[in-house]
A and B are shown apart, each in its own frame.
Chain A
């Protein structure tokens, strides 16, 4: 007789997904007259949050090792500023600049990862230094609000405004009788590809499993013959690299660069991961959860905006409530587990 046992982490993930579904369904009912139920609303949540999805995936990887990366918000601002300055002001071609931004992500991650893994400095401190550094560099490049226009870089502009149309039956008829075909932007494809790849990496590669092992017990991982330092280094490199991909998505969304851009983004990424079931102590979590964490956040924002009368700060308060809910839930599960023993 084999008892099917559902592991508490799976339950947490299911709760996250269920909550998202419930929240979305509620929105569809309450704001039916405002078009919330259109599929495009959901797609817009994805489009707006494509960058955050990438960043949250990287954050999840770092958090799995028991670390944290609070440099991501500033790194995004720096990426956006570099792109806006080089393409918007200097008129450089976009492909080399995108490669350059990705390379910066790698180098940034290498330095942070080296300091955390090999110099054994607290990740919070290291990435806080990274945070100040990147924000500072953004201001050094320019303190102005720069933007990329169709004139300055038509190629980039075309990418940013490219529509990938989905099958028409997913759309709806507007009151003039025309079919509005739902669409996504290329950034959504990038973000979902990132989720899929990182999901596979975490589940099916030695590196992915090492992340869990290191987060579960660093000394055990070492004793079992895993290279803990290298794993940690890779985690930070991955985080910064994914952050740069997220930065590009963010830049494609905003077409702008500014010092104050993406402020608090790191906290949103951490919140999304936590809501998605990732433990700050490491060893537990996955990117599907983080994806839904981002979607829940995005849906809250959309709900507040759709309502129109609520202050936008209510979105923050809702996120805070959710965070509390999930953290308490996690401790309850941990307690139950402890009790069972």
Chain B
């Protein structure tokens, strides 16, 4: 597996050695050892009995966490367990209703009223959504609010750029710090956000799902950095969905469930299965037990047939066929053209060549609405940008696609809308206070379910799911996989994209392999993790 060390692959469930040489160099650091023991007694931060209610939802009920000096502390829990809320309470984004926060060196209980105040108390945060300004340069994003000044009190751009360059060099990230942030990929932006937090001399660093948009090499860099900070005595709260990563770098785990504190464990004493069980609050629902049932070509009826579709600069001409009741995976490295391929089929990016047939009839999709009318559904990978409308309620978001297909003059009667919304809230187990709650108040996984519900209620014949399980927890992932298989058995054709091969192996009967913007292979039948990875890597790797 050479790919891990070079550009990096996207698979998150992989053996530890794939995280690259840089990271493997110091395996001794990884184990929960005596080295940190001497720092252990020093408690940096305690949050006790923290409660926070939103209209209709008790987001936190007596949640707690204790962070010691020089430890990496994983905060785990399902979507909606209250991890993000707890962090936002700590960093002053939300005000908490009751409870107590104490920080070492400050005699009275701390209440942060703003991010700025939290920063002054030594807490730096990197959120899942990148909170940087795309229109400012990289250097400015690192230093804004605390720019180096010349004697005249004006911003000293030269010093700022020089220092920014040094910070980025230290992290081994090759960027031109004078260019605006929008020139760089999400992953680089994420690293810059982390660099900013780290450079602020924080004592407590909070990383909220920092790895979900990073590839292997970048994850390795991040872990190296985290371990360095740990050596320097910084306490790190690390939120992630990747169990592997928890076992790789963390010392301790705090588990939350439904806003309540479940327990605090040392990593050594907590086998994986027990951790998952603690998060789910039940025995681990064995993922392996799901198997594709009606998978392999249960029907001969072709639902979608694409010939020579292409979009200049994004995807080279490709053919694609899917039959009724089939689940087809599209796999490849991040940026290999997975998303571009399905966007082209759906008409989100208009195909420039080729033909597309839907149930035998040629479909000339000028815009997504034509595809929707023909019976397609598309769940995009960037749910914030392409999918959800945050200010609308759960109900409104669910009926959106259906309404679009019916046209604005055939408004659904309210009772019918409510009935539909309730049906899907129950069927997909969407955690929401009510069907009228704005979607933006839901947690990530639940938002994802809302988009899924939106497409399901249009009864599509053909559904495209682009990374539906990214950033959601194990339990919900399993639910998703089960749902996909259920839909397929009911005759829906599904295209499924995921960065986790295992997940696709469990659901797909066939996989298209993408490389460098082209469809290079199609594998079927006896698929294993290794055979898929070999296909992705192509000729050179075996």
Contacts and interface: CB of A to CB of B under 8 A. Distances in A.
Interface of A: 2, 5, 7, 200, 203-206, 209-210, 212-213, 215-217, 219-227, 283-284, 337, 339
Nearest to A282: B135
B115 A225 contact: yes
Given A7-B179, A210-B144, A339-B313, A224 B155 contact: no
B131 interface: yes
Nearest to B313: A339
A284 B176 CA distance: 20
Contacts of B308: none
B213 interface: no
Interface string B129-162: 0111111100011001101000001110100000
B196 interface: yes
Contact of B154 (A200, A212, A215, A216): A200
Given A206-B147, A225-B145, A213 B136 contact: yes
Interface residues of B, number: 29
Given A204-B155, A227-B116, A283 B176 contact: no
Interface of B: 93, 114-116, 119, 125, 127, 130-136, 140-141, 144-145, 147, 153-155, 157, 176, 179-180, 182, 196, 313
Contact of A215 (B131, B132, B135, B140): B135
Contacts of A213: 133, 136, 140, 144
- A-B pairs, top 5 by smallest CB distance, nearest first, are A216-B133, A223-B131, A204-B154, A216-B135, A283-B135
A220 B135 contact: no
B115 A223 contact: yes
Contacts of A205: 153-155
B134 A217 contact: yes
Given A224-B133, A226-B116, A226-B145, 11 more contacts: A7-B179, A200-B154, A209-B147, A212-B136, A216-B134, A217-B133, A220-B132, A224-B115, A225-B119, A226-B144, A283-B133
Contacts of A339: 313
Of B119, B131, B144, B180, the most chain A CB neighbours within 10 A belong to B144
Nearest to A5: B179
Contact of A224 (B135, B144, B179, B182): B144
A219 B131 CA distance: 7
Contacts of B135: 212, 215-216, 283-284
A75 to B, nearest CB: 29
Nearest to A227: B116
Nearest to B118: A225
Interface of chain A, helix or strand or loop or mixed?
A: helix
B131 A337 contact: no
Contact of B132 (A203, A210, A224, A225): A224
13 contacts: A5-B179, A7-B179, A209-B136, A209-B140, A216-B133, A216-B136, A219-B131, A221-B133, A222-B115, A223-B93, A225-B116, A284-B135, A337-B182
A216 B135 CA distance: 5
Interface centre among A2, A224, A227, A339 (most CB of B within 10 A): A224
B154 A220 contact: no
Nearest to A206: B147
A283 B155 CA distance: 18
Contacts of B136: 209, 212-213, 216
Contacts of A284: 135
Contacts of B119: 225
A277 B304 CA distance: 46
Contacts of B153: 205
A56 to B, nearest CB: 20
A216 B134 CA distance: 6
Contacts of A220: 130-133
B155 A5 contact: no
Nearest to A214: B133
Nearest to A2: B176
B397 to A, nearest CB: 21
A107 B131 CA distance: 34
Contacts of B140: 209, 213
A205 B130 CA distance: 24
A168 to B, nearest CB: 36
B6 to A, nearest CB: 21
Contacts of A204: 154-155, 157
Contacts of B182: 337
A2 B180 CA distance: 16
A213 B145 CA distance: 10
A323 B305 CA distance: 46
Contacts of B132: 217, 220, 224
Nearest to A221: B133
A129 B140 CA distance: 36
Contacts of A224: 115, 131-133, 141, 144-145, 196
A337 B184 CA distance: 11
Contacts of B114: 225
A210 B135 CA distance: 12
Contacts of B154: 200, 204-205
Contacts of A203: 155
A205 B153 CA distance: 8
A224 B115 CA distance: 7
Contacts of A206: 144-145, 147, 155
A203 B150 CA distance: 13
A181 B144 CA distance: 48
Contacts of B180: 7
Contacts of B176: 2, 5
A341 B521 CA distance: 25
Most central of B114, B125, B135 by chain A CB within 10 Å: B135
B116 A212 contact: no
A68 B132 CA distance: 23
Contacts of A223: 93, 115, 125, 127, 131
A226 to B, nearest CB: 5
A5 B184 CA distance: 14
A225 B123 CA distance: 11
Contacts of A212: 133, 135-136
A283 B134 CA distance: 9
